[in-house]
């Protein structure tokens, strides 16, 4: 939903925009194509390969710059660059196709590779490191809470048992086999390891915590009339985005206070809608089938 996401976030050609997930630059290039000479675009990414692609783009276009960090650092990173207000924030959440397609990154259970899963390979704990140190309860909580896996406890027990037997989980193929041998039932067409791999990736990269931080910072940074445009790919992150927009676009009333004493509520956002990919896009890119785009506009209008 490249065009839809850019349509949702773009409001003025001379504005300042943030692409919180540069990836390989599809959204950034589409935004730059619409920006005028005075426009500015700042992108964020953790992935060193994405940073290299972004730096090449920055060398070609003075309106563009890229930050090697996650979008959770939105406020301090922009402040360090003299930016105190933005006209749009675009977030394309989750793992990117290039990351999935590179077996050595350890994101996919379809290829044998070291169990890494870090979006930023220069720092932080790998998924294998986590499974080597965490206790059974911690592993089960991660798989249950971030993967919504009903067999989380059984999987955690098997991981810890293997570790105690001198067979720690260090590769994607090991984990996929262990989960397949533990999860006896699964939705038709879904690999048994899908939910466990998702959970570990989210945990290793602190994806949900960073999303919450970015949404809060973005709300404070958006100028009046600025837009928030977010593409999510699974229910956990979409729920956070949905609830965040709802919390700031609906009047909250303290029913204990007399109505004539209630101050007018200042709503900070106006929900502009949600959209799923078209049948044509899903046909061309099956990975887009679970995507959800939500757009909201910053407003201080009284309720």
4-15, pLDDT tens digit by residue?
A: 999 999 999 999
User: What is d(CA 134, CA 83) in angstroms, rounded to the nearest whole number?
Assistant: 40
What are the pLDDT digits (tens) for 195-246? 999 999 999 999 999 999 999 999 999 999 999 999 999 899 999 999 999 9
What pTM does this model have? Answer: 0.87
Question: What angle is formed at CA 16 by the lines to CA 12 and CA 21, rounded to 5 degrees?
Answer: 110
Binned at pLDDT 50, 70 and 90, residue 266 comes out as low
Kindly compute the dihedral angle of the four CA atoms of residues 183, 185, 186, 188, in this order, to the nearest 10 degrees.
150
CB 283 within 8 A of CB 259: no
Q: What is the pLDDT of residues 39-92, one digit of tens each?
A: 999 999 999 999 999 999 999 999 999 999 999 999 999 999 999 999 999 999
List of long-range contacts for 214-219, beta carbons under 8 Å, 24+ apart: 214/20, 214/71, 214/72, 214/74, 214/89, 214/91, 215/240, 215/241, 215/244, 217/72, 217/74, 217/75, 218/18, 218/74, 218/86, 218/89, 219/248, 219/268, 219/269, 219/298
**Confidence at residue 1, expressed as pLDDT on a 0 to 100 scale:** 79
- Angle at which helix 2-9 crosses helix 26-34, to 10 degrees, equals 50
Residue 303 has pLDDT above 50, yes or no: no
Which residue reads 């899908």 in tokens?
A: 194
Q: 3-class SS at 11?
A: coil
Give SS3 for 75: helix
Q: Identify the band that residue 95 occupies on the pLDDT scale cut at 50, 70 and 90.
A: confident
The gap from C-alpha 291 to its chain's centroid, in whole angstroms, comes to: 12
Q: Place 261 in a pLDDT band, splitting at 50, 70 and 90.
A: very low
In contact, 46 and 69? CB cutoff 8 Å: yes
pLDDT value at residue 300: 73
Looking at the chain, the whole-number percentage of residues with pLDDT higher than 70 is 90
Question: According to the model, what pLDDT value does residue 301 have?
Answer: 42
Nearest to 251 by CA among 292, 218, 299: 299
pLDDT, tens digit, for every residue of 96-128?
A: 666 666 767 877 778 899 999 999 989 999 999
Q: Output the average pLDDT for the chain.
A: 89
Task: Report yes or no: 25 and 54 within 8 Å, Cβ to Cβ.
Answer: yes
């Amino acid at each position: 939903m490249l065009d839809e996401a850019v349509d949702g976030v773009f409001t003025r050609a001379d504005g300042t925009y943030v692409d919180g997930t540069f990836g390989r630059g599809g959204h950034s290039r589409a935004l730059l194509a619409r920006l005028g000479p005075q426009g500015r675009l700042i992108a964020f990414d953790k992935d060193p390969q994405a940073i290299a692609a972004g730096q090449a783009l920055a060398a070609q276009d003075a309106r563009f710059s890229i930050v090697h960090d996650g979008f959770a650092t939105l406020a301090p990173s922009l402040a360090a660059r003299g930016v105190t207000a933005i006209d749009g924030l675009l977030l394309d959440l989750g793992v990117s196709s290039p990351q999935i397609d590179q077996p050595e990154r350890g994101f996919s259970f379809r290829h044998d590779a070291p169990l890494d899963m870090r979006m930023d390979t220069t720092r932080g704990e790998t998924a294998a490191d986590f499974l080597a140190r965490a206790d059974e309860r911690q592993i089960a909580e991660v798989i249950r809470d971030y993967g919504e896996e009903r067999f989380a406890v059984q999987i955690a027990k098997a991981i810890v048992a293997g570790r105690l037997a001198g067979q720690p989980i260090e590769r994607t193929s090991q984990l996929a086999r262990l989960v397949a041998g533990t999860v006896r039932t699964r939705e038709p067409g879904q690999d048994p390891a899908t939910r466990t791999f998702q959970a570990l990736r989210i945990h290793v990269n602190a994806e949900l915590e960073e999303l919450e931080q970015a949404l809060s910072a973005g709300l404070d940074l958006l100028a009046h009339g600025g837009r928030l445009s977010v593409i999510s790919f699974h229910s956990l992150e979409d729920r956070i985005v949905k609830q965040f927009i709802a919390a700031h676009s609906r009047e909250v009333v303290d029913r204990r206070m007399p109505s004539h004493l209630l101050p007018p509520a200042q709503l900070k956002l106006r929900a502009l809608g949600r959209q799923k990919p078209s049948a044509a896009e899903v046909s061309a890119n099956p990975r887009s089938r679970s995507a959800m785009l939500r757009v909201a506009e910053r407003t201080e209008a009284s309720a």
